[in-house]
Amino acid sequence: MENITEPKKRILSGIQPSGALTLGNYVGALRNWVQLQKEDIYECYYMIADLHAITVRQEPAALRKNCMDLLAIFIACGLDPEKEPIFFQSHVPAHTQLGWVLDCNTYMGELSRMTQFKDKSKKHENNINAGLFTYPALMAADILLYQADLVPVGKDQTQHLELARDLAQRFNNAYSDTFKVPEGYIPKVGAKIMSLQEPTQKMSKSDPNENSYILMLVPIDKVVKKIKRAVTDSGSEVKRGEGKEGVENLMSIYSAVTGKTMEDIELEFEGKGYGDFKGAVAEAVAETLKPIQEKHADLIKNKDYLETVYKRGAEMANKTAMKTVSKVYRKVGFIQP
């Protein structure tokens, strides 16, 4: 009998180039993407979402630098652009082409209920623009363009995935089956990394206290100092429990970069104090970030290579995306060129 190979399910992943990435971005996203690529179970597309970045005012030179830094970080973390495309969203015109069609199929009430619009409007009161309001429709276009089966989502992105699903079903009902209805993808491995100073809050580079977060490209000596200054509690035992959120956060970080379980960590530091524990966490994080930083430094100097990567990525993404746009344009009644 002839063997029929099932096509791989497709995953779209993206990050905005809105500044330096934190250790939380690495543990929660990038490292998982690298693992997915190694497993070779899925067909993956990796997008640098520069169109989304401009919903908040950007300084052009800084945006260009952030985009190239992010591209280099993707590769430095272990993504292989020879295997799967890494591309800039703005290099694939189909994103805005489908985005407009979906804008015309998205209701004002749906967009007004988006919690991120409400949050960003408060933070950027002097620039509450139309793009900030409608960008969930563009995000839906990002997903639906590639007929993605799965989308990695955190809690803050669940609303956007639900909108993408609703729009796919709405369009399919109106114009016949066109889009796959995507599902959320929860990585098997991944810890939520919290603030080093406020361990009940997620680690974020927008935190006014710079000791609360670790940036991926910050000098290693600063990484060590930040971990050693991290909030723990008045006790001395390295274990989980009520009131020990700071210790548990450091345990999560240590677990994420070493692969050790929380139980292993409790046993390893049984009878030892926070000084020994913080030193071990700092060393493990430094060992994780140092090779990434060194590879990034080499890559960022090689502009020709990075240009080859993003041009090839855009070419591959365009081929897939334009198949969807052509189908959509035909179905809504546009005359084909």
Q: Which residues are catalytic?
A: 120, 202, 205
Judged by DSSP in three states, 46 sits in strand
Which runs of consecutive H residues, i.e. helices, occur in 87-199?
Answer: 94-103, 108-112, 115-123, 130-145, 158-175
φ and ψ at residue 9, rounded to 5 degrees: -70, 150
Please, what is the angle between helix 115-123 and helix 130-145, to 10°?
140
Cβ atoms within 10 Å of 120's Cβ, excluding its own: 18
Question: Based on the number of CB atoms within 10 Å of its own CB, is 115 exposed (0-12), middle (13-18) or buried (19 or more)?
Answer: exposed
Q: E strands along the chain, which residues?
A: 9-15, 42-48, 86-88, 150-152, 183-185
Dist. CA 169–CA 22, nearest whole Å: 36
Dist. CA 130–CA 272, nearest whole Å: 55
Question: Based on the number of CB atoms within 10 Å of its own CB, is 200 exposed (0-12), middle (13-18) or buried (19 or more)?
Answer: exposed
Whole-number Cα distances in Å, 60 to 53, 63, 198, 308: 11, 5, 33, 22
Do 151 and 140 meet the contact criterion of CB atoms below 8 Å apart? Answer: no
C-alpha gyration radius of the chain: 22
Dist. CA 186–CA 102, nearest whole Å: 26
Paired tokens of 225: 């100092």
Instruction: Please give the DSSP secondary-structure letter assigned to residue 29.
Output: I
CA angle (300 as vertex; 295, 305 as ends), nearest 5 = 95
Do 279 and 247 meet the contact criterion of CB atoms below 8 Å apart? Answer: no
